[in-house]
Amino acid sequence: MKTKVQFLDLGKQPITNNFLIKKNPKNEFFYSLKLIFHKGSKLVSLAKFVPPKKMFNERYAHRASASKTMSLAYSKLAKSIKKRFKPKSILEIGSNDGVFIKHFKKIKNLGVEPCKNLASITKQAGLKTYDEFWTQKIAKKIVNQNGKVDVIYSANTISHIHNLNETFKAIDYTLHENGVFILEDPSLVEVLKNKSYDQFYDEHAYVFSISALKNITKETGLKMFDIEKLKTHGGSNRIYFKKTSNKKIRVSKVVSDHLIKEKKLGINKIKVYKDFSKEVKNSKKKLIKIFENLKKNKEKIIGYGATYKSSTVLNYCNLNNKYIDYFLDTTPTKIGKFTPGTHIPIFKYKKISDDIRYVFLGAWNFKDEIFKKEKKFIKRGGKFISHVPYPKII
């Protein structure tokens, strides 16, 4: 019997983080983006992982503090962690530019960040940062130098790490006996609900369901005891774990509620993924049609937010510079470059110019923030194109 089933092929895809300096570079790297369901663990993952050093290096473009919504969310979370767990030490795996960990200056705060350009930002700000990948080896080094840690936090990072068994074992090793591990990652239930197939790209080796996480962490000494649903990244879960050896764990009812809901949705069976695959293929056809109809009418279309997610959509649907004139984006490391694979120029965000009536919403996860900001554009009849939950003009 097959232990893995492939359910979707999203075609040839570039490294989402590889924003190009030149429009048509020689030797741009592409890989085959296929998705599989693991029958045993119930995990959903890429069929073949991309080598980490191709993605997480000194050119890494994403700046967590670039979004006001996210900065605010991290500051709120820091307050809540201090109140709820009163940690004396905290470690963040994937500390990016320090947007979260900087809120813990009064206690021992540590960062792990393999992208050297980002690690140097937090090092300069005085944070002890280990500029390496999260492994058992680095966990040993951290514990040797700092002792065990009270809280480990990791947002949008664990789903990037290929070897989950080692990852969770290293977390268990690093945690203090009464310690708490908090994991935050996009939710598979939300992906299925929103048909947001763009959550799948090179970096997202996995998109987690609660059921799959429960299955794989129980082998590694961690037990989930609470879950919060978040709006970030188009729908995420914040999951709280303690060490299984901790005999005082009270598991919230929320955990079983999630598991029951997932079972009802059929998340542990292949059928739900095969249905999703059909819907994604339809979504592609509809989105291409929207663009082609607008182009027939000689409309100029631009993109808003050159997200990693949009890279999957643009490459899967072959929406290149013929369809989208340029992207507007606020991230300095993307500005002046070209989108990977589809080679659309990215310009520094400014007011949407008056000759534009249609804007593709690359950053659909910030729809509310963007619609608020672009009231004038909407008032003058400007429209957004979004593929989530199905392709439409808003």
- The footprint of ligand TYD (CB under 6 A) covers 62, 66-67, 305-309, 329-331, 334, 349, 363, 365-366, 369-370, 373
Whether the CB-CB separation of 356 and 326 falls below 8 Å is answered with no
User: Alpha helices, DSSP H only, in the chain?
Assistant: 52-55, 68-85, 116-124, 136-146, 164-174, 188-194, 210-217, 253-265, 270-296, 308-316, 367-373, 375-379
Helix (H, G, I), strand (E, B) or coil at 159: helix
Q: How far is the CB of 311 from ligand TYD (least distance, A)?
A: 8
CA-closest candidate to residue 294, choices 393, 378, 198, 375: 393
Torsions phi, psi for 125 (to 5 deg): -80, 5
Q: How far is the CB of 254 from ligand TYD (least distance, A)?
A: 26
Q: How far is the CB of 104 from ligand TYD (least distance, A)?
A: 23
The CA distance from 169 to 149, in Å, is 14
Rank residues 164 and 370 by Cβ distance to ligand TYD and give the closer one.
370
Rank residues 155 and 255 by Cβ distance to ligand TYD and give the closer one.
155
Q: How far is the CB of 153 from ligand TYD (least distance, A)?
A: 18
The CA distance from 343 to 155, in Å, is 29
Q: How far is the CB of 71 from ligand TYD (least distance, A)?
A: 11
Q: How far is the CB of 250 from ligand TYD (least distance, A)?
A: 34
Rank residues 175 and 385 by Cβ distance to ligand TYD and give the closer one.
385
CA-closest candidate to residue 307, choices 360, 353, 254: 360
Residue 228, H or E segment: strand 222-230
Rank residues 205 and 255 by Cβ distance to ligand TYD and give the closer one.
205
Torsions phi, psi for 58 (to 5 deg): -70, 0
Q: How far is the CB of 193 from ligand TYD (least distance, A)?
A: 18
233 to 93, 171, 291, 342, 368: CA distances (angstroms): 18, 24, 25, 23, 12
Q: How far is the CB of 333 from ligand TYD (least distance, A)?
A: 9
At 297, list the tokens: 């009418």
Rank residues 69 and 145 by Cβ distance to ligand TYD and give the closer one.
69
At 181, list the tokens: 């591990």
- Determine if the peptide bond prior to 389 is cis (ω within 30°): yes
Whether the CB-CB separation of 220 and 161 falls below 8 Å is answered with no
The CA distance from 82 to 84, in Å, is 6
In the bound state, the residue with its beta carbon closest to ligand TYD is 305
- Looking at residue 236, its amino acid is S
